[in-house]
Chains A and B, each alone.
Chain A
Amino acid sequence: MFDPGTKILIVDDMMTMRKLVAKSCKELGFSDLTEATDGANAWEKVASANPPYGLIISDWNMPNSTGLDLLKRVRSDSRFGKTPFVLVTAEAEQHQIVEAARAGVSNYVIKPFTTESLKEKLEQVHKKIVSG
């Protein structure tokens, strides 16, 4: 599993969902949590973060700049090419999952989710990173 000190960026236009993801992250032992309200706001934080974020958990369906837009932007910058990126989505249609996979998503969480299901997804991401 990710180190409890991992710096995490939580992106969602809905305050309650940011709170919900943050609550689950805290239950999993993480404490270094930053919130962003959409893809554009998140990119500003990602680009200026020092040290960089060790994990981004972003909603997909947001106005202005979606989670997928953010993912593509993050992946297009060589500095963040390998930053673990988890998309949270209420949509689980196959073509969308394929689209996210092509854009380089590390994993996705389908809403509604529990702390346990988030933990499982994060463990899968970490396992992939460790196994190279």
Chain B
Amino acid sequence: MSEAKKIDFGRAPYDISKQSDYFLVRLHGDLGAELAKDFEKKITVQLESADQDFVIDASSLAEIHPAWTRSLMAIAKHVKATKKQVRVVGASDGVHQWLVSQGLSSALPCVADLETACKQLKPQSPTTAQAKPRFDAQLMNIFLNASREVIEAQVQTPVTPGTPFVREPRDSMGGDISGVIGLTGEQMNGTVVITFPEETFLKLMSKMLGEEFTELNPDLHDGAAEFTNMIFGKAKVELNEKGYGFKMAIPSIVTGKNHTIQNKSKGPRVAIPFDSGVGPFTVEVSFGS
């Protein structure tokens, strides 16, 4: 075995850092026998307490000192016992050969680079690998943007969102006509409702269809449902990319002064108020598991 690459780091020739999805163990230089013991102690603490996989970066090493055999074997044994995973990245031919010769190549497999290691440690599939989707600000922003884009594009009127607020379970929808769509997803179920005061709705429909409407007649009602359909259709693409697994549904309509809509999801009702230039409207989103 030739002399290992020696680099004076002015500190221990390794460091252990916690990354978002794994522990990164960087081996920087000549790993002597004494340092091997110190390393083994520190890495054992991490192995026992951490719930994450490990990546060993050996890119600064030409070879591994025989004194490290015991430490790396301890890692391999612990990894197997706790069903964690380890990948070695940046291994030189010398390091790789050494792992093979010590019978560690299957417990500590070498991969081309960090990207490959991360992919193997955390296989990505939309519904299993990503963080469990939640009803949060990010989700609300998706609906806020979808609502604005739909009304602006379809009615050709500028739309300004206001500050979202939470509605109590028995609060009315605050308008005269609502388009409602029930959502069924792999992670949660919910409802999206767009509600217009009569005046706003008539002005939006007149602008969109190029006809003057002065009365909220049944022929116009489905316009509210179609807005909901478009908003959810637009939001759904982004939501499903994030793993929500929503299926499309047929929208329905509810009308009446200050009507209420039963919230089947039992989750919080968050309403986003908008100003359309021809009057206000709200988009309410509620989700429950």
Q: Name A's B-contacting residues (CB within 8 A).
A: 13-17, 19-20, 23, 61, 63, 89-93, 111-114
Contacts and interface: CB of A to CB of B under 8 A. Distances in A.
Given A16-B205, A113-B153, A89 B225 contact: no
Interface of B: 149-150, 153-154, 156, 205, 208-211, 219-220, 222-223, 225-226, 229-230, 232-234, 236-237, 240, 248, 250
Given A19-B209, A93-B236, A14 B248 contact: no
A77 to B, nearest CB: 27
**What's the dominant secondary structure at chain A's contact region?**
loop
B229 A90 contact: yes
Contacts of B250: 61, 63
A111 B237 CA distance: 13
A34 to B, nearest CB: 18
A101 to B, nearest CB: 17
Contacts of B234: 90, 112
A92 B234 CA distance: 8
Contacts of A20: 154, 208-209
B233 A16 contact: no
Contacts of B230: 90, 111-112
Contacts of B149: 112
A129 to B, nearest CB: 28
A16 B220 contact: yes
A23 B209 contact: yes
A91 B237 contact: yes
Contacts of B153: 112-114
A92 B237 contact: yes
B210 A23 contact: yes
A81 B279 CA distance: 47
A63 B250 CA distance: 7
A88 to B, nearest CB: 11
Contacts of A13: 222
A111 B149 CA distance: 11
Contacts of A114: 153-154, 156
A132 to B, nearest CB: 33
Nearest to A91: B233
B159 to A, nearest CB: 12
A67 B104 CA distance: 58
Nearest to B235: A90
A16 B234 CA distance: 19
B154 A16 contact: no
Given A23-B209, A112-B153, A14 B225 contact: yes
A14 B236 contact: no
Nearest to B229: A90
A14 B156 CA distance: 20
A114 B230 CA distance: 13
Nearest to A18: B222
Given A61-B248, A111-B154, A113-B153, A90 B209 contact: no
A20 B225 CA distance: 14
Nearest to B222: A14
Contacts of A23: 209-210
A23 B207 CA distance: 12
A38 B237 CA distance: 25
A90 B225 contact: no
B202 to A, nearest CB: 12
B186 to A, nearest CB: 14
A114 B240 CA distance: 25
Interface centre among A15, A112, A114 (most CB of B within 10 A): A112
A39 B151 CA distance: 27
Contacts of B156: 114
Contacts of A89: 233
A113 B226 CA distance: 13
A19 B223 CA distance: 10
